[in-house]
Amino acid sequence: MKNLKHRLAIVAAALIAGGAGTAFAQEHDEHGGAAPHAEAHPAPHVEAHPAPHANLGAHPPEPHPGPSGYQRPAAPQGWDARPKTFDRAAYQHNFQAARAYKVGPYPRPAGWVNRHWGYGDHLPRGYFASQYLLADYWLFGLEVPPVGFEWVRVGADALLIDTSNGEVLQAEYGVFG
């Protein structure tokens, strides 16, 4: 017990001495005032968490015009002309995507685990809720889906599914890098 008190006293003395040392660290000239070069270069003030309404002074915010030179590609001719009849065998493939797109994180439906899906599998309804539908499928090099089918994102893959029962008609692996 005595040994513990002795160690605590040493640690406390070291902390006090360390704090006092930093208080006297400012440079002084021989007359006790601050050195001339210390005034020319004041210590920077760092605020850990600036207030959102902080006075911005000489640098008020201005509107950002957005990227220059970028134009969203126009929808291709016939992008919404969905075939009413189609040959299922022509679609039943699992492809590796020719190109990968970086579009942000994928929030998996609550309660479901990561799984590799392929044509013929049945996707649970949670996976083809509206937030997973790829309405601009043509931006990712995907074919026009037939009537009653939609492209959905599942992890890094795009799946063409039958919206009536969740059957996967085609898979494009690695579309979303």
Whether residue 32 has pLDDT greater than 90: no
pLDDT of residue 157: 95
pLDDT of residue 7: 58
- Label residue 81 by pLDDT band (50, 70, 90): confident
The helices-and-strands tally (H runs, E runs) of the chain is 3, 4
Whether residue 156 has pLDDT greater than 90: yes
Give the C-alpha separation, 174 to 177, whole Å.
5
Q: How do residues 110-119 score in pLDDT, each as one tens digit?
A: 888 888 899 9
State the pTM of this model.
0.56
Q: How do residues 46-73 score in pLDDT, each as one tens digit?
A: 444 444 444 556 666 666 565 566 566 6
Is residue 171 exposed (0-12), middle (13-18) or buried (19+ Cβ within 10 Å)? buried
pLDDT of residue 47: 46
Structure-token match 């040959």, residue found: 87
pLDDT of residue 46: 43
pLDDT of residue 64: 59
Tokens of 5: 């008190």
pLDDT of residue 59: 64
Q: What is the mean pLDDT of residues 77-83?
A: 73
28 DSSP β-pair partners: 34
Domain ranges of the chain: 88-173
- Write the class of the CATH domain 88-173: alpha beta
Q: What is the mean pLDDT of residues 138-166?
A: 93
Distance of CA 161 to the CA centre of its chain: 26
User: Coil, helix or strand for 157?
Assistant: strand
Contact 104, 121 (CB under 8 A): no
pLDDT of residue 74: 73
Whether residue 15 has pLDDT greater than 80: no
